[in-house]
Amino acid sequence: MFGQYCLHNYRALANAGRLAYHVGMAVDLYEKAKARLAKESGRLSINGAAAVRFALAFPNVYSVGMASLGYQLVYQMLNSLPNASCERVFLPDDGDLEEHERTQTEVFTLESLRPLSEFHVLGFSISFELDYINVLKIIKLGNLPVLSSERGDYDPIVIAGGPCASFNPEPLSDFIDVFVIGDAEEALPEMVNAIERTLGKPRLQRLEALAGVAGVYIPILNNKASRAIARDLDIYPAASLIHADDAQFGDISLVEISRGCGRKCRFCLAGHITRPPRPRLLSEAQIRGKSRMGLVGAAVFDHPDSINICRSIVNSGGEFTVSSLRLETVTPELAGLMASGGQRTLTIAPEAATDRLRKAINKYSTDEQIFTAISIAYESGFRRVKLYFMIGLPTETNDDIAAIIDLTKRVSREYPSMQFQVSASSFVPKPWTPFQWHVMERENVLKKRYAMLRSGISSIKNAQFGGESPRLASVQGYLARGDRSLGRVLLTALENGGDYGAALRETGVDASQYLYRERSVEEILPWDHLDMAVDKNYLWREYEKSLEGKLSEPCNVGGCQACGACK
């Protein structure tokens, strides 16, 4: 105990010395954080005397992180536990990042301005593969060992949750001590209790205690892990609490209306790793009294009470917004409610423009439905429509790309007073979807099809085109489907300023093995040691149906056992 006491005091003195040394040079970093905190509304109280201290990091800048409902919900849940406190930390903004590096100022939490080394746990909420390198940046900026194998008994335990941590943790396994697989709601209290019981114990003993919690995967122990599923979401927080003008969604209150989706789109990661679909029972208190609400869910209007929820918001004088709608849910009543609720743009995602390709991805939309939805929107006063498509889908040809251009021309001619925004992203075959065995389209082909779309859409008077970089999609592809070898690539990219191509060359890692090699059903995949409650044989059958152009019916929740999620 004396040795632990001396080490902790040494660390406190060292941190105080670093702070005193840099305070004159970097005072604006701390003042900016204080000013940012002062501008927030809806702040919750933090128990400074709690036994277990969490620093919860979002691996991107503040404006992006505060727009993440999942991040905000974990923050609330941790601070609701009697034996835990949680403070926030973000990747510094570009200018601030340069100042941190120039002055060697450790990254610190927003609430108390304390360095990460003073916390028992450094947690990450990870939603995007391209943020992986930011995870490493934050650890490094916190003056902590980036590699988990180099951390000592008194370094924070580094934990990661969120979609990326769940579907394939292996590329980050050299850097993360503990992964939460699936829903955090039921795992968090047990994890906090395990950490509290083992405070001051050797690091390995602390990790072994966490391995006993359902939904926890620890790479150094190579333990099996099954996805944690919160069956009763109604007992947990549903809405964002903190609002800030600096956040991407500003003063919008984000509310999770449902989790999971049963539509079985074969490309959709969220539709597979969050099964079964679970609607929330929202109270009047959660709906009323908020000026603007963002309804969050993979399929918002599959919620059995969604229309009544929207009507209650509008009747109470509030506004609401949704990210996108399924075509079959667009009705005159819904469009009217959306218009009354302040929404000015109809956003739909056909994903593909030919019936053949829609059947391959199990998307039930038709051209007739697209025209009907736009017509309804027009009659309800909408004058702007966003159309989301994907390029590089399995079995796609140039004819499918031409069909997107043709469809845009037809709707633009039919509604010349409307503005159409066409957006295209490159398809990435994700783990735990029927396409996990399929090759990703080569980057040069994606670039040609992207250019074809841009040229075709740009020639349409009342249409605009935008989309994501095929180059970054390829990076996303090998980070999504990779194994632990990708850790070397990430570490090298961290050191060379984010040049993934150079990192691949320097490490000798062959990205084509993850991107362009078709896998067999017998192959053991890097994520097969996890149990996501979706049967692998079911996914393979869906993959075969895709290649045959056959549709699958939506989930019959509780009425079938096809995928295994309802067992």
Question: pLDDT by residue (tens digit) across 245-260?
Answer: 888 888 899 999 999 9
Is residue 10 scored above 60 in pLDDT?
no
Is residue 233 scored above 70 in pLDDT?
yes
Band of the pLDDT at 17, cuts 50, 70, 90?
Answer: very low
Instruction: Give the mean model confidence (pLDDT) for residues 80-84.
Output: 98
CATH number of the domain residue 349 falls in:
3.80.30.20
Amino acid at 203: R
Give residue 27's pLDDT. Answer: 62
Give residue 224's pLDDT. Answer: 93
Judge whether 238 lies within some domain.
no
Range of the domain at 309: 252-547
Judgement on whether residues 201 and 266 belong to the same structural domain of the protein = no
Peptide bond into 429 cis (omega under 30): no
Residue of 354, 381, 392 whose CA lies nearest to 370? 354
Judgement on whether residues 222 and 343 belong to the same structural domain of the protein = no
Judgement on whether residues 164 and 296 belong to the same structural domain of the protein = no
As a whole number of angstroms, the distance between CA 118 and CA 106 comes to 12
Judge whether 366 lies within some domain.
yes
Give residue 289's pLDDT. Answer: 64
Judgement on whether residues 267 and 414 belong to the same structural domain of the protein = yes
Instruction: Give the mean model confidence (pLDDT) for residues 423-428.
Output: 98
Band of the pLDDT at 43, cuts 50, 70, 90?
Answer: confident
Amino acid at 551: L
Judgement on whether residues 278 and 169 belong to the same structural domain of the protein = no
Instruction: Give the mean model confidence (pLDDT) for residues 199-225.
Output: 97
Judgement on whether residues 333 and 481 belong to the same structural domain of the protein = yes
Is residue 9 scored above 90 in pLDDT?
no
For 479-509, write each residue's pLDDT tens digit. 999 999 999 999 999 999 999 999 999 999 9
Judgement on whether residues 292 and 416 belong to the same structural domain of the protein = yes
Paired tokens of 222: 């190579």
Site of tokens 């072994």: 208
Judge whether 531 lies within some domain.
yes
Judgement on whether residues 263 and 213 belong to the same structural domain of the protein = no
Judgement on whether residues 94 and 156 belong to the same structural domain of the protein = yes
Judge whether 42 lies within some domain.
yes
Secondary structure class of 320 (helix, strand, coil)? strand
CB 280 within 8 A of CB 274: no
Secondary structure class of 520 (helix, strand, coil)? coil
Paired tokens of 42: 């809806």
Is residue 13 scored above 90 in pLDDT?
no
Judge whether 242 lies within some domain.
no
Band of the pLDDT at 558, cuts 50, 70, 90?
Answer: confident
Give residue 286's pLDDT. Answer: 78
DSSP 156: P
Judge whether 234 lies within some domain.
no
- Mean pLDDT, all residues of the chain: 93
Q: Let me know how long the chain is.
A: 567
Instruction: Give the mean model confidence (pLDDT) for residues 452-466.
Output: 97
Secondary structure class of 222 (helix, strand, coil)? coil
* Residue 160 CB neighbours (<10 A): 26
Is residue 3 scored above 50 in pLDDT?
no
Judgement on whether residues 194 and 302 belong to the same structural domain of the protein = no
Give residue 8's pLDDT. Answer: 39
Judgement on whether residues 263 and 302 belong to the same structural domain of the protein = yes
CB 264 within 8 A of CB 557: no
Taking the whole predicted model, whether its pTM rises above 0.85 is answered as: yes
How many domains does one find in the chain?
2
Judgement on whether residues 222 and 258 belong to the same structural domain of the protein = no
For 250-286, write each residue's pLDDT tens digit. 889 999 999 999 999 999 999 999 999 999 998 877 7
Is residue 207 scored above 60 in pLDDT?
yes
Is residue 23 scored above 90 in pLDDT?
no
- The secondary element (H helix, E strand) that includes residue 420 is strand 419-426
* Beta-bridge mates of residue 296: 256
CATH number of the domain residue 88 falls in:
3.40.50.280
CB 64 within 8 A of CB 137: no
Judge whether 245 lies within some domain.
no
Judge whether 443 lies within some domain.
yes
